Amino acid sequence: MKKLKISMLGAGSGFVMSVANELITHNIFNGSEFVLQDVSAKRLRAAEEVVSGILKSNKKIKISLKATTDRKKALDGCDYVITSCEMDRYANWVKDLRIPAKHGAHQVKGENGGPGGMIHAMRNICMFREILADMEKICPDAWLMNFTNPMSILCTYFKNYSPIKALGFCHQVHGSFGVIAEQLGMQPGELEVVSGGINHLNWLFDIRKKGTRESCMQEFLDKVRESKYWKKRFDVVPPQMFTLETLNAFNMYPIGYDDHIIEYLPFFWEESEWKEHKYESLADDYEKLAARKTHTLEMQRLLGKEYAKPPFPVNPDHPYYAENPCQVIVALETNTPTYFDAINIVNHGAISNLPSDAIVDVPGIAVGGQVRSIYVGELPIGPMEICRRQITLHEMISKAAHDGDDNLAVQALCLDPYVRSLSQARNIWADFRKEYKDCLTTFK
């Protein structure tokens, strides 16, 4: 069997532990090489220490481990490239929220949607231009398996501007439904969902209990509307009051926690109402994290020391909560048809009333050397329009970043639901351009 080379760019992120834990669960990875790459030698050392311990815990599956700060060395001869990379994550996220707020566009979070999500995407597109260029020269046949946000916009950029085969991975649907099952008194994996939409805003088409043929959608929705977890805020429990608000307004359950959903849907609460619902901009939290000059892997080590342990999931190491890239690799390498309840790929009719070439977050099946979308149905007009508007913005943002087009960037801001005027859009963009001039390498 072929000895694979798998490289992870941005190995200092917390995802590296999940990937390492998956590598030692299947014989196909025996004899393979796992390369960790990060621009920070400090983060790289921390990742290497943790991953080395994980790989050595399985005596039967032998995987060689290497670490380097040189991206081209990491990519040389690579079969699969896993990306989870970001420059100055928390420090930039503070500015992503505060610059639009200065001009009247207030966001709780700005990682994927709104003005904050737009500039976040543009910085990361400029970063990925270099990664893709290297892959096209060094390992053109490798798969790119991305964790970096904003997932939908980056995958749109990959689709439009590179021949590299790319997939987007996010645990939002799979992971959050494990937690949701636990909050409703069930086990993770007991509920099987069919959903579709854009990343971090999926809509629930159907839900069933494992091993049964009957839909339990109404039972599920009744339990959600009765549960205390959807009615008020709790410490260290993902908030879902906004989720319930969206369900009641659109009669369709939006999968994903509030702080992501609210990135796309500003129209329920004015900024002046946030305090009433115990919501606030995350800028102050990001500023504190930035001041610590730490990173995700170190933050995860601190859990249980400085931070209260969340009640859900009860067991974060439960097999249900594993990430999917390694399972996709196994499916592609062995040609074993494998179902995934959510993956970011081209629509190809999976959601029939969204553009066929759009990047959507839908169920997929790995078979025949590809990951193919699975048909889920037609979205009602409200959820459809929310997704369609975002898909249009994702196309505009990726093109603006690729072309270095200031005018198209302003147009995208004008169409964003958080922005209310042309002057507001122009002022936000002018400040973004000034603040991030060194990151926006495609703009002159």
Instruction: For residue 60, tell me if it sits in a domain.
Output: no
Instruction: For residue 73, tell me if it sits in a domain.
Output: no
8 near 16, Cβ under 8 Å?
yes
Instruction: For residue 95, tell me if it sits in a domain.
Output: yes
Closest CA to 168 of 120, 129, 200, 205: 200
How far is it, in rounded angstroms, from Cα 24 to Cα 27? 8
Q: What is the pLDDT of residue 289?
A: 85
Tally of CB atoms within 10 A around 342: 28
Give the model's confidence band at 322: pLDDT under 50 very low, under 70 low, under 90 confident, else very high.
confident
Instruction: For residue 162, tell me if it sits in a domain.
Output: no
pLDDT at 304 over 60: no
Q: What is the pLDDT of residue 302?
A: 45
Burial of 329 (0-12, 13-18, 19+ CB in 10 A): buried
Q: What is the pLDDT of residue 297?
A: 55
| Crossing angle between the packed helical segments 381-403 and 406-415, to the nearest 10 degrees | 160
pLDDT in tens, 145-163: 999 999 999 999 999 999 9
The structural domain count of the chain equals 1
Of the candidate ranges 64-73, 257-266, 302-311, the one whose mean pLDDT is the lowest: 302-311
Instruction: For residue 140, tell me if it sits in a domain.
Output: no
pTM above 0.75, yes or no: yes
Give the model's confidence band at 82: pLDDT under 50 very low, under 70 low, under 90 confident, else very high.
very high
Q: What is the pLDDT of residue 292?
A: 81
Give the model's confidence band at 184: pLDDT under 50 very low, under 70 low, under 90 confident, else very high.
very high
How far is it, in rounded angstroms, from Cα 23 to Cα 354? 36
Q: What is the mean pLDDT of the chain?
A: 94
Instruction: For residue 75, tell me if it sits in a domain.
Output: no
pLDDT at 236 over 90: no
Instruction: For residue 411, tell me if it sits in a domain.
Output: yes
Q: What is the pLDDT of residue 298?
A: 54
Percent of the chain with pLDDT over 90: 88
Enumerate the β-bridge partners of residue 209: 191
How far is it, in rounded angstroms, from Cα 83 to Cα 53? 21
Q: What is the pLDDT of residue 13?
A: 84
pLDDT in tens, 251-281: 999 998 899 999 999 988 999 999 999 999 9
State the CATH number of the domain containing residue 351: 3.90.1820.10
Instruction: For residue 15, tell me if it sits in a domain.
Output: no
**Residue 256 sits in which domain range?**
89-109+173-444
Distances (CA, A) of 281 to 63, 105, 257, 359, 416: 43, 11, 15, 28, 18
pLDDT in tens, 337-376: 999 999 999 999 999 999 999 999 999 999 999 999 999 9
Q: What is the pLDDT of residue 256?
A: 84
Distances (CA, A) of 68 to 34, 38, 134, 295: 11, 7, 16, 18
